[in-house]
Copies of this chain bind each other. A is one copy, B any other.
Amino acid sequence: MDFEPMDRRNFLGIAGGALVCTIGGQKFRIDSKADLKKANAAYPVPPKVAAARNNTPISKAAIQGSRREYWIKAEQRRWNVVPSKTDEMMNQRIKKRVTGSTGTDVFAYRLYSKDFAQPLGPATVPGPLLEANVGETLVVHFQNECPLPVTMHPHGAFYSNEMDGAYKGKFTDPGGFVQRGRTVTYIWECPEGTQGSWLYHDHGPFDPIPISKGLFGPLVIRDPDEPLPDREFFLGFHSFLPGSNNPNLRQALYAINGKAYTGNTPTLTAKVGDDVAFHVYAIDNDFHTFHMHGHRWKENGVNIDNKTFGPGDSFRVRFIEDNPGRWLYHCHVFSHLHQGMSGWYNVT
């Protein structure tokens, strides 16, 4: 397998462009479903993954303490990033040739009931919230139905090396290369010292394409001694890039929770007196800020209303709601704001 980093970089650039990868001397463009299938089939299985094939794909790792168990599939689906076709904040119509007329083919995590018996809702960008208390163990049964090998890689949790869900070339464990139709179980522990607002995301051999296409989600490890907030919001800052994501896209769409432009992004609600928490993370190629109108909070004793964060960063903002009205929350990078990264926060 021989990537041209130039092409990978171009994919990531604002200008977009299709991913080109060369596997065994053959060039693949992966714009379409058929392309993905071909690229996947041609991808060599790493040695440790191949050796494990005749065994059960389910991990034998021991699980300590009480467990939180999840069944999650990665699926390909059609996704409309700007369903209203407008930006309420700027009173603008967003043109079809910007958003793509028929939505975008994304990859999305989907929550299932025990033993993958039935879906508990649609596949979404971001994926379902994973949560545990300090002292518990997350047990995540993961099945891949996407046309590329993908994975789940957690931030913040404690896990043994083979549970990192990362492609690592010849050192790759089965959880770092999950082909279509196969299942693995990830065991992620949450001991004292792991509490926090985190995220999970694909970290497979096609990184970061599946992330850009939607394979990420929020993860929270709670301190059971800390009171729960009255309301909490999980906000993933991420961008859909033109090219491999959607050949119809004419520009990047800067999304919060997979949607772009006010009225499409989450409209959050709270009431005065609520103890509110915002769990915020970024997972694209850019740095962002989290800004709230009409509110501010303390960080290390200093009042702020705007916070810089980068790819892979995650944090929590928490305050007692004291100001009714229709407020904007947004990234203060102007080009991101005006390509979709804003939303309403309505307080009664």
Count identical subunits in the complex: 3
User: For chain A residues 87-117, which have a beta carbon within 8 Å of chain B?
Assistant: 87-95, 98
Neighbouring B residues of A88 by C-beta, 8 Å: 168-171
Neighbouring B residues of A324 by C-beta, 8 Å: 161
Decide if A335 touches B296 in the complex (CB within 8 Å): no
Decide if B303 touches A160 in the complex (CB within 8 Å): no
Return the contact of A312 from the options B2, B250, B315, B332 (Cβ within 8 A).
B332
Please choose the segment from A70-78, A144-152, A284-292 that sits at the chain B interface, where 4 or more of its residues have CB less than 8 A away.
A284-292
Decide if B9 touches A339 in the complex (CB within 8 Å): yes
Please choose the segment from A123-131, A193-201, A225-233 that sits at the chain B interface, where 4 or more of its residues have CB less than 8 A away.
A193-201
* Residue of B whose beta carbon sits closest to that of A296: B156
Decide if A98 touches B289 in the complex (CB within 8 Å): no
Q: For the complex formed, measure the closest distance between the CB of A130 and the CB atoms of chain B, giving whole angstroms.
A: 16
A-side residues, CB < 8 A to B, are 1-6, 8-9, 12-14, 46, 87-95, 98, 153, 155-156, 158-162, 164, 166-171, 193-196, 198, 205, 207-208, 211, 250-251, 262, 284-285, 287-289, 291, 293-294, 296, 298, 300, 302-315, 322-328, 332-335, 337-339
